[in-house]
Structure 1
Amino acid sequence: MTDVERPARWRRIIGSAWFHLALAFVVVGALLSFVAKPYWVPSGSMEQTLLVGDRVLVNRLAYVGDAHPSTGEIVVFDADESWGSGADLDEGPVKSVLRRLGELSGFGPSGTHTLIKRVIAGPGQTVACCSAEGAVTVDGEALDEPYVFEDFPFEPGALDCTTTPASPRCLPEVTVPEGRYLVLGDHRSLSADSAQHCRGGTENDGGCWLWARDEDIVGRAIVILWPVSRWGGL
């Protein structure tokens, strides 16, 4: 091939529809892998903020560098084996290969068990429930949580953290370990979250907690993409 023919061949390749299609696939895959990614809400644990079937956009750059999740932010994360069902699911060889290809290309889920929850507290913060009025506290301050839907029952003096039995809203005080986050669902009474094994307890038992790990956080959910009737920021 002569020097004149070689540039002409490359121009034909670059100008072809197949090249443009492949380039678009690579660009979109890179965006999904490193910048932003849609996520399908699979359960009602975040109602009424998020409904089953909602598609949200996850900002994958939200926590790069020194940035970390803060109280009130909604995050998507890959649940480790401590979260149980789904994390250690036997997918079979074909599905496993397809999932790994999806992870690499950006077009698939980031893990076998991906969850979306709201951050309540981060490393070094102390969480307890409940205040006299039934609120979750972080470092002694009661959280204002207007987003909570169908919370566990709590009635001061009748069903609270001093009664027997205690309210299932009650939680033992805990300080979040380094590199971990305590996450809860907005549909508090339906959510399998960090506190699911600690409910109704007032004694400090650090072994009952489940944590979202820093290294497993995919990103911050920032907007509802679909359905159009529910479009809006989070």
Structure 2
Amino acid sequence: MTAKPTAGQSILETVKTIVYALLIAGVFRTLFFQPFWIPSGSMKETLLIGDFLFVNKMAYGYSYASCPSVRIGAIGLNIDAEDICGFLDNDNTRLLGSDPERGDVVVFRHPVTGTDFIKRLVGLPGDSIQVKDGVLFINGTAVGLEDAGNFEEAMAPQGPQGSRPRCENAPVGLGGACLKSRQIETFPNGNTHAILNIGNQSADHTGVYKVPEGHFFFMGDNRDNSSDSRLVQTAGGVGFVPLKNLIGRADRIMFSSAGRSMLFFWTWRSDRYFKGIE
């Protein structure tokens, strides 16, 4: 006859189970996949506010940035990846590393703030990047562009932050049709994707950026509504991003919600479930 566990033993077993579960989840998130919610419209129409995806951390190997950051503002918890894996942050290399490809949609750490960003990889080490009259030039050659009509969405608050979209046909009243020019952009390696334009912006006219070795140049697909490598870090952009700051590649949207909470089931976008990211 087995002895009945005491209350203290039951509590201890419960605590051990929770700790083991957290350790397993931490290892899974560090080595394989990291969940990521899209908080802004900088990657429309490829990614919409409220899209939920898993970042493939195996795609580019591992660095200090592969360790998760834990931030819970309500209780003042702020554990950065550098606090956990800072011992790996001594050079610009990766363990089991693989080179990213131009056109990949990548999650990376901002070189200054450590905030997670998601953008499209435009420039590789050694590239010359320039934007002239809204057209991207890579090593002196314009990318392919094909007009593809308009991207249309409702003028309404989007996501938990309740942000409203910017429109090429502004001003647009609440509930009206917000339009942006849509083009299909083709990179030299054949990668194609949609980009959006709102109008003539300062970021449509840049100097030449020479991407340093071991660094990358990123831009948002929503070209006139993206803080990216076109802006230096001191001006609110991300500048050149070092190899060690890459977290992983975004391959597929798993779930999507247009509402302020994922619990608002009537705002779920079922047509975006398991949608591949191009």
- Bin of the TM-score, shorter chain as denominator length: 0.5 to 0.7
Aligned residues: 169
Partner of residue 250, structure 2: 221
Given that 1:152 and 1:188 are in contact with CA atoms closer than 8 Å, whether structure 2 keeps it comes out as: no
Partner of residue 84, structure 2: none
Note the C-alpha offset of 1:215.
0.9
Counterpart secondary structure, 1:195? coil
The C-alpha deviation readout for 1:156-184, integer Å capped at 9, x for no partner, is: xxxxxxxxxxx641221222001111100
CA RMSD of aligned residues (A): 2.8
Note the C-alpha offset of 1:129.
2.3
Partner of residue 149, structure 1: 196
Partner of residue 233, structure 1: 276
Greater Rg over alpha carbons, structure: 1
Counterpart secondary structure, 2:194? coil
The C-alpha deviation readout for 1:13-69, integer Å capped at 9, x for no partner, is: 9xx776555433322221111111111111111111111121111011111234122
Partner of residue 172, structure 1: 207
The C-alpha deviation readout for 1:67-109, integer Å capped at 9, x for no partner, is: 122211111111022xxxxx2xxxxxxxxxxxxxxxxxxxxxx
With over 3 angstroms needed to count, the CA separation of the structure-2 counterparts of 1:151 and 1:62, relative to structure 1, is farther
Note the C-alpha offset of 1:212.
1.6
Pairing of 1:4-153 with structure 2 (within 5 A): 21-64=18-61, 65-81=96-112, 87=113, 111=114, 113-130=115-132, 134-144=134-144, 145=185, 146-150=193-197, 152-153=199-200
Given that 1:151 and 1:169 are in contact with CA atoms closer than 8 Å, whether structure 2 keeps it comes out as: no
Given that 1:59 and 1:220 are in contact with CA atoms closer than 8 Å, whether structure 2 keeps it comes out as: yes
Given that 2:110 and 2:238 are in contact with CA atoms closer than 8 Å, whether structure 1 keeps it comes out as: no
Aligned sequence identity (%)? 30
Among 190, 205, 211, the residue aligned to 2:240? 211
With over 3 angstroms needed to count, the CA separation of the structure-2 counterparts of 1:30 and 1:209, relative to structure 1, is closer
Structure 1, unmatched stretches of 5+, are 1-11, 82-86, 88-110, 155-166, 198-207
With over 3 angstroms needed to count, the CA separation of the structure-2 counterparts of 1:114 and 1:135, relative to structure 1, is same
Given that 1:79 and 1:114 are in contact with CA atoms closer than 8 Å, whether structure 2 keeps it comes out as: yes
Structure-2 separation of matches of 1:70 and 1:129 = 20
Counterpart secondary structure, 1:80? coil
More strand by share: 2
What amino acid is the match of 2:104? E
Partner of residue 88, structure 2: none
Structure 2, unmatched stretches of 5+, are 1-8, 62-95, 145-184, 186-192, 257-268
Structure-2 separation of matches of 1:39 and 1:192 = 18
Counterpart secondary structure, 2:224? helix
With over 3 angstroms needed to count, the CA separation of the structure-2 counterparts of 1:24 and 1:215, relative to structure 1, is same
Q: If the length of structure 2 is used for normalisation, what is the TM-score?
A: 0.54
Given that 1:126 and 1:138 are in contact with CA atoms closer than 8 Å, whether structure 2 keeps it comes out as: yes
Given that 1:70 and 1:121 are in contact with CA atoms closer than 8 Å, whether structure 2 keeps it comes out as: no
The C-alpha deviation readout for 1:98-149, integer Å capped at 9, x for no partner, is: xxxxxxxxxxxxx4x1111111011111112238xx5212123322314111
With over 3 angstroms needed to count, the CA separation of the structure-2 counterparts of 1:50 and 1:80, relative to structure 1, is same
What amino acid is the match of 1:127? I
Counterpart secondary structure, 1:58? strand
With over 3 angstroms needed to count, the CA separation of the structure-2 counterparts of 1:171 and 1:152, relative to structure 1, is farther
Note the C-alpha offset of 1:209.
7.6
Structure-2 separation of matches of 1:115 and 1:195 = 14
Structure-2 separation of matches of 1:143 and 1:78 = 27
